[in-house]
Amino acid sequence: MDGNGRWARARHLPRTEGHRRGVNAAREVIADCLEHGIGVLTLFAFSSENWRRPAVEVNTLMDLFLAALRREWDKLHAKGVRITFIGDRSAFNEKLRSEMENAERHTEANRMMTLVIAANYGGRWDIEQAARQYAGACLKAGKVLSSESGISLQEFLSTHELPDPDLFIRTGGEKRLSNFLLWQMAYTELYFSEELWPDFGSKSLRAALEDYAKRQRRFGRTDEQIQAADNG
């Protein structure tokens, strides 16, 4: 979800106003994804690198995050949305952490859609923390780190119970992954939109999904193999 700051600047508004509008865009996209029958939606809300921003902006983002969670979680719960968070929570304050746990606990059994919020998340952080746990598990089981161990790194990623993403959407015109789900996106279809995040709405999402629907996913196979499988 990129482009909140530029959206605000273009209107001579403070960046924080852009973030506020960004929350509205997120709410709309969540509702649309539910309607489209999308099983898992992951929103990159705050990266492990975003702490480098000015303190006022970081604080506003935290306040907005907390307010949105408090306001929205039970509405999402009523719609059958399960809410989970990925990322290093230890850096967040107690209030925010307990609100996150609260949303997770209450929505745990919901199955209409899983909403994953990546907060203080970084793809490299995820791989590193998984590697640490993986090594620990192998050691504990008295096994060497090899393919024969029967334990895989994948099991320790923060997304271990989720499918890999089919589609990645980045708004704001930048064409990079910015340390998002690096491991998980090995075969993800990438979609880049020039629109700034607060402007991204139902029509934009539909355009992205239509673009995705035209793509052929081969996962390393040939076009002929895929066609034969589709026909058989």
**Residue 192: count of CB within 10 angstroms of its CB:** 16
Taking alpha carbons only, the member of 200, 203, 225 closest to residue 4 is: 200
Measured from the CB atom, the residue of 3 and 165 that comes closer to ligand IPE is 3
Tokens of residue 25, six digits: 């865009």
The residue nearest ligand IPE at its CB is 5
**Binding to ligand IPE by residue 198, rule CB under 6 A?**
no
Q: Which stretch binds Mg ion (CB under 5 A): 2-10, 76-84, 93-101, 213-221?
A: 2-10
Which x/- pattern over 79-118 shows residues binding ligand IPE (rule: CB under 6 A)? ----------------------------------------
User: Amino acid letter at 231?
Assistant: N
6 belongs to the binding site for ligand IPE (CB under 6 A): yes
The least CB distance from residue 194 to Mg ion, in Å, is 13
As a whole number of angstroms, the distance between CA 100 and CA 84 comes to: 8
Beta strands in 164-213 (DSSP E): 167-170, 189-192
Q: Which residues, other chains included, contact 198 with Cβ-Cβ below 8 Å and sequence gap of 6+?
A: 3, 4, 7, 18, 21, 22, 24, 25
50 binds, among Mg ion, ligand IPE, none (CB under 5 to 8 A by kind): ligand IPE
Q: State yes or no: residue 195 binds Mg ion (CB under 5 A).
A: no
C-beta nearest to Mg ion: residue: 2
Q: CB under 5 to 8 A by kind: which of ligand IPE, Mg ion, none does 1 bind?
A: ligand IPE
CB-based contact 167:109 (threshold 8 Å)? no
Q: Quick check: helix, strand or coil at residue 12?
A: coil
Residue 150 gets the label, from left (phi > 0), alpha (psi -120 to 50) or beta, of: left
122, 123, 165, 172: which one binds ligand IPE (CB under 6 A): 172
Binding to ligand IPE, residues 9-68 (CB under 6 A): 19, 22, 46, 50, 61
2 is catalytic: yes
Find, among 131, 41, 144, 146, the residue nearest to 86 by Cα: 41
Task: Name the one range near ligand IPE by CB under 6 A: 3-11, 69-77, 131-139, 223-231.
Answer: 3-11
Chain residues in the site for Mg ion (CB under 5 A):
2
Chain residues in the site for ligand IPE (CB under 6 A):
1-6, 19, 22, 46, 50, 61, 172, 197
Catalytic residues: 2, 50
